[in-house]
Chains A and B, each alone.
Chain A
């Protein structure tokens, strides 16, 4: 996959500055959507009492994920090193199949389109898509 250009990083940072205030809602909406549209992802949450997409557990998880994304924005110049611990967590403890990172990324993009239809231009879309792909790659780094 292609690496982030200076323009990508600038675009991602500027867009994140605009939307980060709604980060909790974005995360909750993305996780809810993922659980509905890709029901196979529910297999990772069999420990939740309430598996419904708008449960407190699902919302909390969305918030956690989006905090991670926000953190990744600050580490955009070295995602591999910056997300090393998170990668270890996903590789050794959570063992989420990396294919699911793409699924969640897609749903984050859909939520951005819904919540920020004017700001989520094609230029922002491509940079954010690349960024989420780079984050996904960094998260999978420690897998094998």
Chain B
């Protein structure tokens, strides 16, 4: 599948190379303290399954994903969306050590779930869109840059343990 996402491709060897400005730290903490995980998570995952339908391949056991309405109303999708946001919170709380924080999750996604890591970027783009809709004009270009940088580091860490 050709590259679909525009999230930055952050090739880092270790988090020592990821420098966060005060603005970026504060922005990430602020966003995650304001969004409702059980609203944003489900909305982002549902949007991903609709906009990039091939991602549905990982959710064969989730039942009815037939159309946008079914996806939106699917309780397993909602629950998993919330799980994802709770997982992201771990990175929010450990911004200086995201790679190690996610080592186990990376192994899980690669060895057990067999998720193509390109899909992480697709979900990241949907998360950006959903958070933008939630925050409105407060989601300025500078805030978007910080948020996308954070997600790029997360995506890179999740892809780290793939062999």
B2 CB contacts on chain A under 8 angstroms: 1
Q: Do A122 and B50 touch across chains, with their CB atoms under 8 A apart?
A: yes
If A110-B132, A117-B136, A125-B51 touch, does A37 touch B68 (CB 8 Å cutoff)? no
Instruction: Mark the stretch among A43-51, A68-76, A89-97, A101-109 that contacts chain B.
Output: A101-109
Q: Is the CB of B47 within 8 A of A125?
A: yes
Closest to B47 in A: A122
Say if the beta carbon of B142 comes within 8 Å of chain A.
yes
User: Given A122-B46, A125-B50, A114 and B125 touching (CB < 8 A)?
Assistant: no
Question: Interface residues of B: mostly helix, strand, loop or mixed?
Answer: helix
Q: How far is the CB of A101 from chain B (nearest CB, A)?
A: 10
Query: Which residues of chain A are within 8 angstroms of B134 by Cβ–Cβ distance?
Result: 117
Q: Could you tell me the distance in whole angstroms from the C-beta of B111 to the nearest C-beta in chain A? A: 30
Within 34-75 of B, Cβ neighbours of A (below 8 Å) are at 46-47, 50-51, 68, 71-72
Asked if A16 is at the interface (CB within 8 A of a chain B CB), the reply is no
Instruction: For A109, give the chain B residue with the smallest CB separation.
Output: B129
B130: chain A residues at CB < 8 Å are: 113
8 Å CB contacts to A: which residues of B131-161? 132-137, 139-142, 144-145, 148
Tell me whether B133 and A36 are in contact (CB under 8 A). no
- Encode contact with B along A1-16: 1 for CB under 8 Å, 0 otherwise: 1000000000000000
A37–B50 touching, CB < 8 Å: no
Task: Give chain B residues whose Cβ lies under 8 Å from the Cβ of A110.
Answer: 128-129, 132, 139, 144
Q: Is the CB of A113 within 8 A of B68?
A: no
CA distance A122 to B44 in the complex (A): 9
Query: A129 within 8 Å of B by Cβ?
Result: yes
A120 within 8 A of B: yes
Residues of A within 8 A of B (CB): 1, 32-33, 35-38, 53, 102-103, 106, 109-110, 113-114, 117, 120-123, 125-126, 129
Pairs of residues from A and B, 7 with the lowest C-beta to C-beta distance, nearest first: A36-B141, A122-B50, A117-B133, A113-B133, A126-B51, A106-B6, A113-B132
